[in-house]
Amino acid sequence: MSEAVEVDGQIRADLPPLEVEHVSVRFGAIKALSDVSFAVAPGAIHAVIGPNGAGKSTMFNVLSGVYKAAEGQVRFGDARLDRMRPYQIADVGVARAFQNIALSGAQSVAENLMLGRHHLTRAGFLSAGLRLPRATREGRRHGERVAEIAEFLDLGDKLHTPVGVLSYGDQKRVEVARALCTEPRLLLLDEPVAGMNAEETERMADAIREIRSALGISIILVEHDMGMVMSLADRVTVLDFGRLIADGTPAEVQTDPEVIRAYLGSGNETDPSLVAADAPTDPPESRP
Ligand SMILES: Nc1ncnc2c1ncn2[C@@H]1O[C@H](COP(=O)(O)OP(=O)(O)OP(=O)(O)O)[C@@H](O)[C@H]1O
Ligand SMILES: [Mg+2]
């Protein structure tokens, strides 16, 4: 189920699969996730989709250690993510770019990206504050990497610009760059193109493709933009009311009757690209 995906012939050698097994999360009487299992192959772009309230953000919160699963396991190689705290999950190479931009608007792009490198800093605050040679060398190395990652996301000329004055599309790319600055092996992207115009969306899609091919890391994408999901993802997991209702290639899930029913019946804006030409034309059944 989790065969490695070829990425220009090179996937990071230390890249394990992510395995979600029988995960359930409850909030009082609400079952936000019920017995959900899926695997993300090394080097894959794996989308998690579903109507509003399906449990997508809850799944991301489990993967990043914000919520504890009531049942089930999450494994990333040898690491049991379900038993770890958020900073430990970051240490094993899982980084998350947030849906709502979590940047400091008054600080420059470079300063925001530098924050992403904190957990990689060895010299410590004291020696950095005293400007000891080791700290200075290390600081320079981090600065170079930050500049590289900014360049990679088309932000090279904005390194010294306060984040608050950037366009929305640029800010979302800074958020992705900040996550990349932690040197992740698995990148979690929560609705990276929400609220973007068509041009910004296309630019972000290109950036995601490049991240995968240049860095050879795995990416999980929660996204409502079906055009983007279907063009980017190698595999798609579909949630509805906390249950997994489909898991397959974009072509497979697009034509899956249960997926079509979930979207048509949800009152969500129906995206015609999800409803393939050869899909059944029966009227949607009313939802429970
Ligand atoms: N902290 C919480 N406390 C109580 N209920 C919660 C909490 N977080 C999520 N839920 C509930 O769990 C269910 C799944 O929510 P979740 O936010 O994971 O959905 P989603 O798929 O991300 O939806 P959207 O597409 O709207 O972002 C919903 O019924 C939601 O109200
Ligand atoms: Mg959500």
Q: Where are the domains of the chain?
A: 1-93+184-251, 106-182
The span from the first CA to the last CA of the chain, in angstroms, equals 32
Say what the pLDDT of residue 137 is.
Answer: 76
Give me ligand 2 centre to Cα 128, in Å. Answer: 39
Rg of the chain taking only CA atoms, in angstroms: 20
Nearest to residue 68, comparing CAs of 76, 78, 58, 77?
A: 58
Give me ligand 1 centre to Cα 116, in Å. Answer: 27
The CATH-assigned architecture of domain 1-93+184-251 is: 3-Layer(aba) Sandwich (3.40)
274 or 91, greater pLDDT = 91
Mean pLDDT of 248-264: 92
Would the CB of 217 count as within 6 Å of ligand 1? no
Closest approach atom of ligand 1 to CA 28: 4
Give me ligand 1 centre to Cα 12, in Å. Answer: 33
Mean pLDDT of 193-200: 90
Residues 10-20: pLDDT tens digits? 677 779 999 99
pLDDT grade for 278, boundaries at 50, 70 and 90: very low
Closest approach atom of ligand 1 to CA 25: 12
Residues 155-187: pLDDT tens digits? 999 999 999 999 989 999 999 999 999 999 999
pLDDT grade for 134, boundaries at 50, 70 and 90: low
Q: Does residue 269 surpass a pLDDT of 70? A: no
Residues 109-124: pLDDT tens digits? 999 999 888 766 655 5
